[in-house]
Every structure is written in structure tokens, then in C-alpha cells.
């Protein structure tokens, strides 16, 4: 059998996000998740003939915010189209969307280019009730028109992603960015963020795109990651056995890990888009766009760059902190409280010990423990300044996480500050005396033998001694 070439996955994402405006996209109905079904409806969103839509200015402003945050161009003039399809979630038999001229185009977030982002309206919510709701012997579906007409922004990426985990990570960055813009609660369980994954493979080195399939309606980033991974394997297997990938839309079942076809290319819809005659074009003035730009907060991607370039954090630490707004502000508060401590040292405590201690203590988020930012900063300073050992610092932090308090007082109360240099030197001297064989080996150049002496030091200090400092003292006392 000839050697088969290696294949590279190519992934592009399409994300629908509900904008959290007061009212719907084209009518005055209130938006309220979880309301009694069909209580927020009117002739416009129920598609009554002759009812006229009006564009929600707040939704347009939110779309501009999203577009600018993603580095897009905001079109000086864009229009709405009717996307025609027949389904019970849509009483007009068309969705108002944007087609050839979206409000936002081009852009980038992290390592992924944005193709476009456009405004549209959501469909009504269908609930398939099956047996329990059978009508005339058939399974039944219920329609809730409250969701119909909710403003959506659809974000379409370029196919720049090459691995399922990267897709998940990037979606997390996007979600955090949108959340911090304050335009959506981006809650996947409630359906305010929905992601589709487009997947193809191609021989490594090839620049051409392969035939893609589309994974629809994934309701968690983890499932999307797993679904994309399964689809890549499926495509590789097809190609390996001499077959060809067919263009189709797939459903991934996370429970069984299986992929099933929803529709093939032949069944693809022809939406017969045409310009919406009842709505004016969107034409935001350049001044307005600049006002919106000026009002944007610092966003995760920029913050990450600042943490790396100004504070000197590693890319991993910068990402961990910057992509999580609550952790980022906690970290910055800790840094501000301890201007003499290297921000890298503070970052290590926050991303390392604090994250671990809060998980251990069962907190949902490291910024929500009983330890405040200044306290964590103080622990970093005390250990960094050799006031207490690293082990003591860990113990102190665990206590602050569980019960809070003033770091100096707590460390006094726990007796953590007593292991000062002289004491440690004495403990080291005793440990050397207790381990004469190990001491001889270390002197003879057998570096590993030092472990036995350090073991005694740690036992005597209940793990509170600073390992580095203990090693230094042992070598010093052995005349090395
Ligand atoms: P369609 O016409 O099927 O809607 P688009 O060109 O509009 O396809 O792209 C939709 C999404 O699919 C985008 O996110 C895009 O990046 C992605 N995409 C397009 N072609 C491919 C491909 N060959 N492999 C993976 N993703 C792709
Ligand atoms: Zn309405
Ligand atoms: Mg498309």
C-alpha cells in the first residue's frame, strides 16, 4: 500500500449571539428569557401581513461594538435581505438577515481572522414533545414565539483554525470578549450563544481547501471540540480508504460520539435572498462609529498583549489572566497593592497557588474565595522577600482562601513567621549531623544525596522551610 500523506484539519466557525437589547430586532416586544410562552408577541414578530418592521437602534449599536472589538470595518451603508424558507419556527416564511453587504466585515480576534459579522433576527423556539403531546396520532411540536425576532449577530470566521482544542479556546476568547462588551450574556445553556463548526482536511502543505462538512447547533464548547475531532477522524478514514468527503450538514451526538447526516448538498436550501423592501439601509455616521470605538473597554486580547509586553508575563500566564475578566482585575489589584513586587511573581501566585487552593477549597472561581487581592499580593511579597518560606506561604494562602483575614496576623497566629534564617541554619546543622553518610556523599560530589538531608529539614519544619534556601545553607555548611 502506498504511504498516505499526512492530513491537516481546516476549521471555520459560525457563531450566533443573541444581543441583549430591551426589545426585539424589528418590533417593540420585550425580550425576556423564560417568560410564559407566547406572551411577548405582536403582529410584526408573528408575521401578520401588512405589519411593518422597524430597526432596533440599540441592536445596531451593539453590532457596531462587536464589529469594532473584532477589528472589523463598519460598513457606511448596509442593507437587510429576506432569506426565504418554510418552517414552523418562522411565520413570515422568511428571516430578515443581511446578505451581500453585512454591517461588519474583515477583522481579527487572536489568531483567527473574521470574515464578516451581520445582523439578523432569531426564529421562534420549537419544543418537540413527542409521545406525550401526540396530536391525531403524530408526535407534536410546540412553538414559543417569544424568541422569534430576537436580535442576533452572526459572526463568521475565516478557516484559520487547525485543531479542535484551538477552536474551543478561541470560542472561549470570543465569549469572554462579547461578555465584556456588555452586549450579551453569551449563555450557551439558554441558547444566547450557538456555534457551528465547518470542517475539512487537506494534505499537509496544500493551500487548497478540501470539501467541508458542517456541524450544527452544538450547545457546549466541549461538545463542539469533540464533534470536530470525531469529524476529522471520520474524514481521514474516508480518504484513507480511497473515498471522497461529501459536503453535508451533520449532527454530533455527544452521548454516543456518533455523527449523523442532517442534509446533503442536494438537499441544501435555496434561500432566494432578495432585498427587504420595508427597511431602510443601516448608515451609521463615521462620528457615531468613532464614539462607539472610544467607549470600548480594554478587551481580553489587548490585555493579554499588555501583560506580555508591559508586565513581562509568559504567554500562558498572560492568557490565563487576561481571558478571565474577574481574575484579571483581581490580579491587577494585587499588583497595585504591592508595587515593589515583580508582577511576574504575583502572577505566579495567582495562576498557580491561588487557582489550586481555591479549587481545593471548592470555590467556583479563584477571585471568589475569602482571600482578597491585597492579601494574595502580601503572600507573594512575604515569600519573595524571604520573610516566610514558600511552604509557609502556601499554608498562609490556604488559610486566607478558606477564612480570610490579615496576612501578617494570620501568619503570626499560625506561627509561620518563626522560621527565620538563624533557626533554619540551626535546623540544617542538626540535619547534617543526623545524616553523616549523605553529608559525606554530597561532599564527594554526589549531588542527589542532598535529598536525605533536605528531607530531615522539611520534617523538622513541617514542610515550611524554603527548599532553595535550605539547599544553599547545607552546601554552605558543608563548605561547598
Ligand atoms: P457556505 O457557503 O457553505 O456558507 P462559507 O464560505 O460562507 O460557506 O463559509 C462558512 C464557514 O465555513 C466559514 O466559517 C468558513 O471559514 C468555513 N469554511 C469555508 N470553507 C471551508 C473549508 N473548506 N474547510 C473548513 N471550513 C471552511
Ligand atoms: Zn413583536
Ligand atoms: Mg455562508
Distance (angstroms) between ligand 3 centre and the Cα of 186 equals 22
- Helix or strand (DSSP H, E) at 460: helix 450-460
Average pLDDT over residues 54-62: 98
* Closest ligand (CA of 24): 2
Check if the beta carbon of residue 164 is closer than 8 Å to that of residue 225.
yes
pLDDT of residue 129: 82
Residue-wise DSSP of 190-213: TTSEEEEEEEEEEETT--S----E
* Closest ligand (CA of 155): 1
Average pLDDT over residues 51-75: 98
Distance (angstroms) between ligand 1 centre and the Cα of 216 equals 13
Whether the per-residue pLDDT at 2 is higher than 60: the answer is no
| Burial of 425: CB neighbours in 10 Å, binned 0-12, 13-18, 19+ | middle
Percent of the chain with pLDDT over 90: 83
Whether the per-residue pLDDT at 24 is higher than 90: the answer is yes
* Closest ligand (CA of 159): 1
279's grid cell: 427597511
**384-436 confidence digits (pLDDT tens):** 998 888 888 999 999 999 999 999 999 999 888 755 556 788 889 889 999 99
Whether the per-residue pLDDT at 1 is higher than 50: the answer is no
Give the separation between CA 334 and CA 367, rounded to whole angstroms.
11
Whether the per-residue pLDDT at 59 is higher than 60: the answer is yes
Distance (angstroms) between ligand 1 centre and the Cα of 220 equals 20
Q: Report the sign of the C-alpha dihedral through residues 342, 343, 346, 352, in that order.
A: negative
pLDDT of residue 218: 85
Average pLDDT over residues 175-194: 94
90-104, 258-272, 275-289, 398-412, range with the lowest pLDDT: 258-272
Q: Is the CB of 200 under 6 A from ligand 1?
A: yes
From 63, 294, 299, select the one nearest 179 (Cα to Cα): 299
Distance (angstroms) between ligand 2 centre and the Cα of 316 equals 46
**313-363 confidence digits (pLDDT tens):** 999 999 999 998 899 999 999 999 999 999 999 999 999 999 999 999 999
Measured from the Cα of 14, ligand 1's closest atom is 14
**366-382 confidence digits (pLDDT tens):** 999 999 999 999 999 99
Cβ neighbours of 416 (radius 10 Å): 21
Residue-wise DSSP of 53-119: ----HHHHHHHHHHHHHTTPEEPSSB--EEEE---TT-TTSEEEE--SS-SEES-EETTEEEEEEEE
For ligand 1, atom 11, the nearest C-alpha belongs to 12
Give the separation between CA 419 and CA 439, rounded to whole angstroms.
23
* Closest ligand (CA of 148): 2
**pLDDT class of 269 with cuts at 50, 70, 90:** confident
Ligand 1 pocket mutation pick from 164, 196, 212, 268 by most atoms within 8 angstroms of CB: 212
Q: Is the CB of 13 under 6 A from ligand 1?
A: yes
Q: Is the CB of 296 under 6 A from ligand 1?
A: no
pLDDT of residue 292: 97
pTM score, whole prediction = 0.82
Measured from the Cα of 211, ligand 1's closest atom is 23
Average pLDDT over residues 158-170: 97
Average pLDDT over residues 71-82: 98
Q: Report the sign of the C-alpha dihedral through residues 133, 134, 139, 143, in that order.
A: negative
Give the separation between CA 236 and CA 230, rounded to whole angstroms.
10
Measured from the Cα of 200, ligand 1's closest atom is 24
Looking at per-residue pLDDT, the higher value among 268 and 155 belongs to 155
Distance (angstroms) between ligand 3 centre and the Cα of 58 equals 25
Q: Look over the chain and give the mean of its residue pLDDT values, rounded to a whole number.
A: 93
C-alpha distance from residue 326 to each of 64, 298, 364, 373, 377 (Å): 25, 13, 12, 11, 16
Check if the beta carbon of residue 64 is closer than 8 Å to that of residue 151.
no
128-137, 394-403, 452-461, range with the lowest pLDDT: 128-137
Give the separation between CA 46 and CA 91, rounded to whole angstroms.
6
Residues with CB under 5 A from ligand 2 (ion): 27, 29, 42, 44-45
For ligand 1, atom 14, the nearest C-alpha belongs to 12
Amino acid at each position: 500500500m502506498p504511504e498516505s500523506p499526512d492530513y491537516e484539519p481546516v476549521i471555520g466557525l459560525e457563531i450566533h449571539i443573541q444581543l441583549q437589547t430591551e426589545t426585539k430586532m424589528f418590533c417593540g416586544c420585550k425580550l425576556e428569557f423564560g417568560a410564559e410562552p407566547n406572551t411577548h408577541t405582536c403582529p410584526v414578530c408573528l408575521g401578520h401581513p401588512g405589519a411593518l418592521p422597524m430597526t432596533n437602534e440599540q441592536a445596531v449599536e451593539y453590532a457596531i461594538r462587536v464589529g469594532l472589538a473584532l477589528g472589523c470595518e463598519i460598513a457606511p451603508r448596509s442593507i437587510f435581505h429576506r432569506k426565504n424558507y418554510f418552517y414552523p419556527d418562522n411565520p413570515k416564511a422568511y428571516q430578515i438577515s443581511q446578505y451581500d453587504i453585512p454591517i461588519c466585515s474583515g477583522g481579527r480576534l487572536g489568531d483567527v481572522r473574521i470574515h464578516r459579522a451581520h445582523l439578523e433576527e432569531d426564529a421562534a423556539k420549537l419544543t418537540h414533545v413527542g409521545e406525550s403531546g401526540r396530536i391525531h396520532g403524530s408526535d407534536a411540536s410546540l412553538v414559543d414565539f417569544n424568541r422569534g425576532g430576537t436580535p442576533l449577530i452572526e459572526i463568521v470566521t475565516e478557516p484559520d483554525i487547525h485543531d479542535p482544542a484551538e477552536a474551543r479556546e478561541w470560542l472561549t476568547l470570543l465569549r469572554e470578549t462579547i461578555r465584556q462588551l456588555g452586549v450579551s450574556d453569551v449563555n450557551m445553556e439558554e441558547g444566547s450563544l450557538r456555534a457551528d463548526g465547518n470542517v475539512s482536511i487537506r494534505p499537509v502543505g496544500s493551500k487548497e481547501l478540501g470539501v467541508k462538512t458542517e456541524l450544527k447547533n452544538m450547545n457546549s464548547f466541549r461538545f463542539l471540540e469533540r464533534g470536530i475531532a470525531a469529524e476529522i477522524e471520520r474524514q481521514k478514514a474516508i480518504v484513507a480508504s480511497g473515498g471522497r468527503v461529501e459536503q453535508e450538514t451533520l449532527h454530533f451526538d455527544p452521548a454516543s460520539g456518533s455523527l449523523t447526516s442532517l442534509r446533503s448538498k442536494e438537499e441544501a436550501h435555496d434561500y432566494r435572498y432578495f432585498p427587504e423592501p420595508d427597511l431602510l439601509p443601516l448608515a451609521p455616521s463615521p462620528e457615531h462609529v468613532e464614539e462607539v470605538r472610544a467607549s470600548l473597554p480594554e478587551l481580553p486580547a489587548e490585555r493579554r498583549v499588555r501583560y506580555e509586553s508591559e508586565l513581562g508575563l509568559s504567554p500562558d500566564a498572560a492568557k490565563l489572566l487576561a481571558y478571565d475578566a474577574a481574575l484579571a482585575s483581581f490580579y491587577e489589584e494585587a499588583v497595585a497593592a504591592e508595587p515593589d513586587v515583580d508582577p511576574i511573581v504575583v502572577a505566579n501566585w495567582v495562576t498557580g497557588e491561588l487557582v489550586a487552593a481555591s479549587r481545593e477549597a471548592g470555590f467556583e472561581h479563584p477571585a471568589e474565595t475569602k482571600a482578597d487581592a491585597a492579601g494574595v499580593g502580601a503572600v507573594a511579597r512575604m515569600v519573595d522577600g524571604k520573610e516566610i518560606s514558600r511552604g509557609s506561604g502556601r499554608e498562609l494562602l490556604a488559610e486566607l482562601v478558606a477564612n480570610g483575614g490579615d496576612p501578617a496576623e494570620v501568619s503570626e497566629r499560625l506561627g509561620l513567621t518563626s522560621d527565620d534564617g538563624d533557626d533554619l541554619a540551626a535546623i540544617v546543622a542538626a540535619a547534617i549531623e543526623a545524616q553523616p553518610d549523605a553529608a559525606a556523599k554530597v561532599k564527594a560530589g554526589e549531588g542527589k544525596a542532598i535529598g536525605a538531608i533536605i528531607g530531615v529539614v522539611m520534617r523538622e519544619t513541617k514542610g515550611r522551610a524554603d527548599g532553595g534556601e535550605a539547599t544553599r545553607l547545607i552546601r554552605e555548611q558543608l563548605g561547598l
